[in-house]
């Protein structure tokens, strides 16, 4: 029998509305504990209207219901983190530097949008990282304007939540808010909309398919909306995989590698994977939308001085761009990740 494992549930409304100083301190303490012990948090009081989330879900349904050939027309080169990703074209586990999983391809499909360079005309940002979004055009049963309107609306709200979380993180770490602002004022953020259902007729009985292989997220913090169905599994401190489903109305939040490096592993970038259930040989449908708040591509992440203990710094400084490039090249282009951190050892030691 597995030991008890749970993802803390925190109401952050004191930071979304005009909460008292005491209420905000309580929220910061709760998040600090969750970041230090689990690396995953469920948040309520985030302020995203149910209608906005419902609109995103409907937009995703409309897009993923289209023919594969049409969706493939929105596929981008591996170095451009935008557009459509067909099933069996990525292996997230490769981001851990584990060559043994090179032949395992995740079966999810996805569509990515992100912050384009035109958002910051005053800056000379790399157009491959801050790429234009390949918004799909309309079809008889697909309203392109509705799709873009719904996705844009959610993107704005998820960005607000990510920045609110960074304000809470600054308070929890007892550092100036400017520390976070200085590395996120032109953050290379991406929204990845994901569908985990294989095409009708796909035979999966008798095998254990990977919806999304074991991995850690790359950047600072991820804000995740997900269906309340089984699938997401988080690696606990006991070395076991634990099922996680969001509470009603909650968003899931997890820290990325850059935050773990920044805090010298005081806070955790936790391994997770997706294995939706197979019933009667059919994978049950699951959807999610991950907003990755990854930081400015030119920012240098160096250990926060107050997080340096007697054993010194665990990581050398690294730029956001260098880190993201290595991760994306491994998952999307199959290139070995030579800068994978201790998460690779945790993956090797995981049971099951």
Any idea what the CATH number is for the domain that residue 277 is in?
A: 2.60.120.330
Distance CA 195, CA 17 (A): 33
Which of 321, 73, 282, 283 has the alpha carbon at shortest distance from 187?
321
Question: Which residue is it, tokens 């090249």?
Answer: 329
Q: Is residue 132 part of a domain?
A: yes
Q: What is the pLDDT along the chain (352 residues), one digit of tens a residue?
A: 556 789 999 999 999 998 999 999 999 999 999 999 999 999 999 999 999 999 999 999 999 999 999 999 999 998 899 999 998 888 777 777 665 554 457 888 999 999 999 999 999 999 999 999 999 999 999 999 999 999 999 999 999 999 999 999 999 999 999 999 999 999 999 999 999 877 655 656 555 567 888 889 999 999 999 999 888 999 998 889 999 989 999 999 999 999 999 999 999 999 999 987 777 777 778 899 999 999 999 999 999 999 998 888 889 999 999 999 888 876 666 666 666 666 666 666 665 5
State whether residue 131 is helix, strand or coil: coil
3-state secondary structure of 77: coil
- Give domain status of residue 17, yes or no: yes
**Taking the CB of residue 71, how many other CB atoms lie within 10 A of it?**
19
The single residue listed with the structure tokens 């596929």 is 75
Whether residue 148 lies inside any domain: the answer is yes
Query: Does a structural domain hold residue 294?
Result: yes
* Total structural domains within the chain: 1
Q: Is residue 2 part of a domain?
A: no
pLDDT of residue 312: 87
Judge whether 202 lies within some domain.
yes
170 part of a folded domain: yes
SS (H, E, C) 29-51: HHHHHHHHHCCEEEEECCCCCHH
Domain annotation covers residue 3:
no
pLDDT for position 338? 61
- Domain housing 204: 9-349
Interatomic CA distance for residues 347 and 235, integer angstroms: 9
Q: What local confidence, expressed as pLDDT, does residue 210 receive? A: 72
């Amino acid at each position: 029998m597995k030991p008890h494992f749970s993802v803390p549930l925190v109401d952050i409304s004191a930071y979304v509305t005009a909460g008292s100083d005491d209420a905000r301190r309580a929220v910061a303490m709760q998040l600090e504990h969750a970041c230090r012990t689990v690396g995953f948090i469920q948040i309520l009081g985030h302020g995203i209207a149910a209608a906005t989330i419902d609109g995103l879900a409907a937009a995703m349904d409309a897009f993923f219901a289209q023919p594969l050939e049409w969706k493939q027309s929105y596929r981008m080169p591996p170095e451009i983190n935008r557009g459509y990703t067909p099933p069996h074209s990525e292996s997230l586990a490769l981001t851990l530097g584990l060559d043994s999983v090179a032949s395992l391809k995740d079966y999810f499909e996805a569509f990515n949008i992100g912050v384009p360079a035109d958002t910051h005309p005053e800056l000379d940002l790399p157009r491959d990282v801050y790429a234009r979004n390949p918004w799909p055009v309309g079809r008889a049963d697909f309203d392109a304007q509705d799709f873009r309107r719904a996705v844009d609306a959610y993107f704005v709200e998820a960005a607000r939540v990510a920045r609110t979380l960074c304000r809470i993180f600054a308070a929890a770490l007892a550092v100036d808010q400017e520390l976070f602002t200085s590395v996120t004022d032109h953050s290379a953020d991406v929204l990845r909309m994901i569908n985990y259902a294989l095409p009708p007729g796909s035979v999966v009985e008798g095998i254990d398919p990977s919806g999304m292989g074991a991995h850690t997220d790359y950047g600072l913090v991820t804000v995740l909306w997900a269906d309340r169905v089984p699938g997401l599994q988080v690696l606990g401190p006991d070395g076991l995989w634990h099922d996680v489903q969001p509470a009603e109305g909650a968003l899931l939040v997890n820290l990325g590698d850059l935050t773990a490096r920044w805090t010298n592993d005081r806070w955790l970038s936790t391994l997770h994977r997706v294995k939706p259930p197979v019933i009667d040989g059919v994978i049950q449908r699951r959807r999610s939308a991950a907003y990755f708040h990854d930081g400015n591509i030119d920012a240098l992440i160096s250990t926060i001085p107050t997080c340096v203990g007697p054993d010194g710094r665990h990581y050398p400084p690294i730029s956001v761009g260098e880190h993201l490039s290595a991760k994306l090249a491994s998952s999307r282009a199959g290139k070995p990740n030579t800068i994978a951190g201790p998460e690779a050892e945790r993956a090797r030691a995981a049971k099951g």
